[in-house]
Chain A
């Protein structure tokens, strides 16, 4: 036997290494998390997610359906979640606008589901094949009324995979829609992905009620820990699900106390757990005088610049946000406390910058390095602003 013959172990390992688009990494993450149902509608730059799942889901006994529009896709996954399945849909800006109605329904009726938005330029049809990060606020406030939402993001394909698994876990834990805010560069760029062995990443399965048949089951009565065990449609417990304000049986109510308590519950279950939902990464952040805050593909340029500056002895670091909503206020305040300046690097007109300004001690030290012209922001773009702030000329 020669040394270069692969052992079985090595074969398995290389089988788990792929060279993929970000959209495919998202699909692999969803499958790892146990997705059983996907409904979607074609839209650039997210279509690969639907295409891949149309092949992969039936292979494992799952269902894929291409619906008549984005609205119907969002509705269909909510219906499928109620029968006990892990569900997802994927879209981009214009389709995300159409999904807002049913997204609000999922918030109100507390239906676990994952919604991917691979962001492209907007408003309106915008730039289908180019990058933007303009849907930050749409993810937060796109649907009407007070509500809380979870939105996650990632800057490389390994993280896309893991954050997708995380999205399914958070959806089940908090009985809520979770939004994955990727962008065109992440969705279409190809890079390495190593798929972990099953069991390596934690998976949260559907929490089902232990209430026995014939005993009154309260679908909307939270346990002490705030979680609401579910019962699958088709099971022993028949109950009502509605987008109206409802009581603990799920029946419509306009009783002021019921309305107030439900709205508080919907918001508190997420906002009070912001610390547990917050996901981030630090790059060269130790002792940084200049803190770059970024996320998604623009974080790649920020990280590149920070590395480059550190090599020259400048104290520049990156706080990479992987959860945007609920906004990690405490984290941002802490990490920016000693910074001479904070630069938010993003591809919109300053949506995250406004949130950062709102939570740091000195908003006047917060600057925006952005690009809104279809093109990925470059390290040089950020450097230009950094040097001005440093008083070193362009």
Chain B
């Protein structure tokens, strides 16, 4: 299918600033879904609050635009109650790791089959450029006129420590690499994290004198290197890109299925006549 078949054209043009990296991520994500040949009815996208979160309105999937930081908690309810659905959860850096940090580490710990995409532009864009937990020290922001003193999280290390079974990083400069990684993340059984470094020329770029969108993209090219590459070996200060973790680990919904089987078996032995499978009856309206 064409990319336009995955978007709700009724709601375009989108609300992101010119030069924002988020549209690139949307494009990469839709290409990944398309190349995997997934049924649109089988995909639920949940998002939180912020520039990044508006992505869920633009896609022609089941979409749940929720509360700041809580997208993964909502997604957990959707996934566990209907495990056959594919859950895509794009989040901003503040959304995922400040207000949503607790939900993030616990979703990773459970290894529930959800794909978390962190659209990391190192700033709160929608509220006007405040520093985020991924800004790092020495940066300027509207709440750090004298520069930040807060250290940043390393999303990759944090995800691995919390128990995510697939962890990767790319940038909006490396779009084809993004598509590839997103495909692997979506196919992965378990909690997958993809950090995509994105650019906010309006706030972060302007305040930190990183130039326009093109210059910021150049910066992503210059300051990152592929895992296992010569460049990374020669200059360990570069930010590594690629797939850091991809392991098989027990997935939460599958483990819960086993619990249900055990519970039903024990009850069957006690009460053999009891009838199971009490699914809600479908009733239709008369309209």
Contact = CB atoms under 8 A, between A and B. Distances in A.
Interface of A: 34, 36-37, 39, 55, 58-63, 65, 67-69, 71-72, 75-87, 101-102, 105, 205-211, 223, 227, 229, 232-236, 238-244, 249, 251-252
Given A63-B256, A71-B70, A76-B74, A208 B284 contact: yes
Nearest to A244: B65
Nearest to A37: B81
B84 A234 contact: yes
B3 interface: no
A227 B283 CA distance: 13
B103 A68 contact: yes
B82 interface: yes
B77 interface: yes
Given A60-B276, A61-B264, A238-B61, A76 B82 contact: no
B81 A210 contact: no
B202 interface: no
A315 B103 CA distance: 57
B65 A83 contact: no
Contacts of B125: none
Contact of B11 (A227, A244, A251): A251
Q: Pick the 4 closest A-B CB pairs, nearest first.
A: A79-B77, A76-B77, A75-B73, A80-B81
Given A59-B264, A61-B264, A63-B80, A229 B67 contact: no
Contacts of B266: 59
A55 B82 contact: no
A380 B8 CA distance: 66
Contacts of B84: 234
Interface residues of B, number: 54
B70 A242 contact: no
B281 to A, nearest CB: 5
A67 B76 contact: yes
B260 interface: yes
A235 B284 CA distance: 14
A57 to B, nearest CB: 8
B70 A65 contact: no
B106 A36 contact: no
B280 A229 contact: no
Contacts of A236: 41
Contact of A78 (B11, B74, B80, B85): B74
A235 B61 CA distance: 11
Given A75-B76, A252-B57, 4 more contacts: A210-B284, A238-B40, A243-B67, A252-B65
A68 B284 contact: no
Given A77-B77, A234-B42, A85 B260 contact: no
Contacts of B73: 67-68, 71-72, 75-76, 79
Contacts of A55: 263
A16 to B, nearest CB: 13
Interface of B: 8, 10-11, 40-42, 44, 46, 56-57, 60-67, 70, 73-82, 84-85, 102-103, 106, 256, 259-260, 262-264, 266-267, 276-287
A233 B85 contact: yes
Contacts of B62: 82, 233-234, 238-239
B280 A206 contact: yes
A208 B57 CA distance: 23
B252 to A, nearest CB: 9
Contacts of B64: 79, 82, 233, 240-241
Contacts of A58: 256, 259-260, 262-264
A68 B106 contact: yes
A206 B207 CA distance: 51
A223 B80 contact: no
Contacts of B70: 71-72, 75, 101-102
B102 A63 contact: no
B264 A76 contact: no
B44 A233 contact: yes
A173 to B, nearest CB: 12
A209 B283 contact: no
A377 B189 CA distance: 55
B284 A72 contact: no
A77 B283 CA distance: 21
A37 B77 contact: yes
A61 B278 contact: yes
Contact of B78 (A82, A101, A210, A249): A82
A69 B99 CA distance: 13
Taking each of B57, B73, B76, B103, which has the highest tally of chain A beta carbons within 10 Å of its own beta carbon? B73
